[in-house]
Every structure is written in C-alpha cells, then in structure tokens.
Amino acid sequence: MKNKIITLICLIITLLIWLFKPVYDWAAYRGKAPILFASYYTLPNAPHPETSHVHSETELDEAKLINILKTYREQSQAPGLSAAIAYQGKSLWSGTVGYASLENNIPLTTEHQFRIGSTSKAMTATLLAQLIDKHNFNLDTPIQDYLGFNPNPLWPAMTPRQLASHSAGLPHYKRNTDLMGLYYAMALTSHFETPLEALKGFDGSELLYSPGEQFYYSSYGTVLLSAVLAAASGQDFIDAMCERIWQPLDMPQTGLEEEAEHLVDFYFNNKGQQTSYIPWRNVDLSHRLAGGGFISTPSDLAKLGSGYLDRHFLSQATVDTMWTPQKLNNGEINPQNYALGWREAKNLLLDKYTVYHHGGVSRGSQSILMVIPELSLSIAANINVNTEKFWDFGHVVTALAEQIVLQGIKH
C-alpha cells in the first residue's frame, strides 16, 4: 500500500511539472525568473561576417548600405541582421551582418528564415485583399455568413473589416478570459492544424467591448479572420496563402516554421540587458499563425510589399481600401491609424513620404516591412533577438530608404 501511495505521489508531481514547466519557462523568457539548465553563448569579436548582393544593374554604394546594417545590428545587440530592398517590383539589394547560429558559428545569409511575428498580419491581409479584388469579398458581411456557424454567441455581429482593423472587441493574449486559451498562449506547446482548431484558444473569452466601438490590438482577431478567409475561399488557409500569395509573388522561403529549411537560431538576452545569448526554448506558434506565426526572409517580405505596387496582382482600388485607416462606430479614425492589416505613417521617412508598414515581435525574433509607394520601394529587415524598444531595430528600414534616396533612386 505504501509503495502505491509513493507511486501515486510521484505521478502527481510529474504531471504538475509537465503542466507548469511551460508556464515557468514563459516567465523565465520574460526575465521574471532564472532560465534553468540554459546554454550561454557570446558574440565572437568583430569583424562579423557580412554579405551584400546587388540584384539589378543599378549602381549602388553597397558599403553604405552594409554600414547601416552594422549600426543597427550593434544597436539591437542582435547576433544577426538581414535586410532586403525591392524597387519597382524587382529585387534591388539584399545584405546580412552577423550570425544565424552562435552555437555552430554559422554566418547569416539572405536565405536564412526568421519568425516574423505580427508582420504575419500584413501577409494575411494580402489574402484578404486578393479575395476583395478577385472574388468580391465583402468586408462588412457578418462573419457568421462566411463561417456557416457561430463559434461564440458574442461574435455574429463582427465583420471582416473589424477583425482586420482590431476593432472587433476581441482580446489580445494577456486579456484572454478563456483559461485554456491563456494556458496555450503561455505554454506554446499545443499544435493546431487549422484556424478553426485554433479558435478553441479564445472562443470562450469575453469581448472587451462591442464590435466597432474601440480599437484594441488583437492577434486573435487575425486568427479568426483567417478562418473566415479560408471559408470564403473554399480552401485550406495555408493552401490559399500558397496559391494566391506566396507562389504568385515568388516567396519560396515563406510559410510554416516546421517546414523551414534555413531557419536561424533564436536568442534571448533579456532585451539587451545581458551580454550572453541563450537559445530560445522550442515553441509552437500555430495558435497565432495568421496573426504572428509565419516565417520568412527579408527578400520574400520585400516581394510581399511590392505586390501592393503591382496592378496585375492587386487593383489600385483594393490597395486604397487596404491602406485606408479605419473608422470606429463614432466616425473617428482609430488612434493608431491602423488600416486593414497595415499601419499608415506620415512621419517615418524624411517627414515627406507616406509609408505603410507592419512590424513583428516573436520569440527571439523581430521583423519590419515598409512600403513607400511614391518611391516604388519595399524594404524589409529581420533580427534573431528581441529589443527593449522595437524601433531601435525597426528604423533600419527608414535608414536604408533614406540612403537609397540619397543615392539617387527615384520614382
């Protein structure tokens, strides 16, 4: 009898460790607790490896572009930084500085893939744009009409427009009152094959407000939008992304993390507060795929941005729709000038050009994509660490754009 009790106690302890270790890891990789059994790596002494590739006959001062990458890699305290520029719909330049893997001393190349975090929202929005453009998708039809059923009694009045512009009332990760979903978002160990499966992570949550009343940034809104888009297209969501976005725009390094062939190593350095680098724990981001789970390269992301400048890919009317900051029910534009999966900014580049952009923060990775229609430029960059202030990294794309302007590239 005593042995059975001991065995039962051991099983209970093992179960509790299995359940709560991912939650502990969540706290540890936010700097709230020690990371147990971690391996530590340091950045080799400079000079760090670098690559530079000009993809057209345009004459460029590559050294100045690389120096920008060096400056922002050091400012971001990232093992590696990769960037790419497209001009008039064609690849113009790409370059890298630093390492894809510190453990294996692997230099970063332009083929290496990164987690792109919320830049995934601009990618999902592009599928929305395609359906608007080619299939008369209606932004203001209630989502229940597309899904054919009602996953949550509070959701029927929501529209795709509200989901894409973060005004549907859905929570982001921390304010999710669906307790199992909250656990999924912290543990990052559960896998969801489809957007409909991923809805179980937040379909029990309360709304923060009635749809259209306020702006509240929510990746779950984009996940729900992806389920709506899949239903409207009559395709699996990933199949639709492949056939309608990634293949037409020639984005071969973009997709699912589990299928990556050239994935960088992702690192934790407590947002620059420590000089050593700890590899990020393994995570499954399928619960947030459409809103923050894709992988890509700067070259592929620049092609995505260029798609918005290609009238064969998207009509000007659809682009205007996607890039128009959205209004709330009171008629006022939302406080972040958020459009449909994109942000509009008038003060990022020389206080002169209107740009459309979306950043992303993921586990041990950051991303930024910026499109400047007036200059026919699309610029993207990625790093394999997190920074305390996003724009300590993000402004690398504005610096590259300014340099391109100085070098005489004009529309």
Domain borders along the chain are 50-116+250-406, 123-237
Whether 386 and 79 have beta carbons less than 8 Å apart is answered as: no
**338 φ/ψ angles, rounded to the nearest 5 degrees:** -80, 135
Structure tokens at 185: 């978002």
| Residue 52 identity (one-letter amino acid) | S
Which of 3.40.710.10, 3.40.50.300, 3.20.20.370, 1.10.10.10 would CATH assign to domain 50-116+250-406?
Answer: 3.40.710.10
pTM: predicted TM-score of the whole model, two decimal places? 0.95
Whether 205 and 177 have beta carbons less than 8 Å apart is answered as: yes
Q: What is the pLDDT along the chain (411 residues), one digit of tens a residue?
A: 667 677 766 666 666 555 678 888 888 898 888 898 899 999 998 899 999 999 988 889 999 999 999 999 999 999 999 999 999 999 999 999 999 999 999 999 999 999 999 999 999 999 999 999 999 999 999 999 999 988 999 998 899 999 999 999 999 999 999 999 999 999 999 999 999 999 999 999 999 999 999 999 999 999 999 999 999 999 999 999 999 999 999 999 999 999 999 999 999 999 998 899 999 999 999 999 999 999 999 999 999 999 999 999 999 999 999 999 999 999 999 999 999 999 999 988 888 899 999 999 999 999 999 999 999 999 999 999 999 999 999 999 999 999 999 898 754
Residue 373, SS3? Answer: helix
Q: What burial letters (b/e) apply to 369-380, b meaning 16+ CB within 10 Å?
A: bbbbbebbbbbb
All residues at 6 or more sequence positions from 192 whose CB lies less than 8 Å from its CB, including other chains: 198, 200, 201, 286, 287, 289
Superfamily of domain 123-237: DD-peptidase/beta-lactamase superfamily (3.40.710.10)
Could you give the CA distance from residue 349 to residue 345 in angstroms, rounded to a whole number? 9
Whether 51 and 43 have beta carbons less than 8 Å apart is answered as: no
Task: Identify the burial level of 330 via C-beta atoms within 10 angstroms of its C-beta, where 0-12 means exposed, 13-18 middle and 19 or more buried.
Answer: exposed
All residues at 6 or more sequence positions from 304 whose CB lies less than 8 Å from its CB, including other chains: 122, 123, 126, 245, 249, 251, 254, 296, 369, 378
Q: Does the fold of domain 123-237 match that of domain 50-116+250-406?
A: yes
Could you give the CA distance from residue 347 to residue 57 in angstroms, rounded to a whole number? 31
How many residues can be counted in the chain? 411
Could you give the CA distance from residue 270 to residue 282 in angstroms, rounded to a whole number? 17
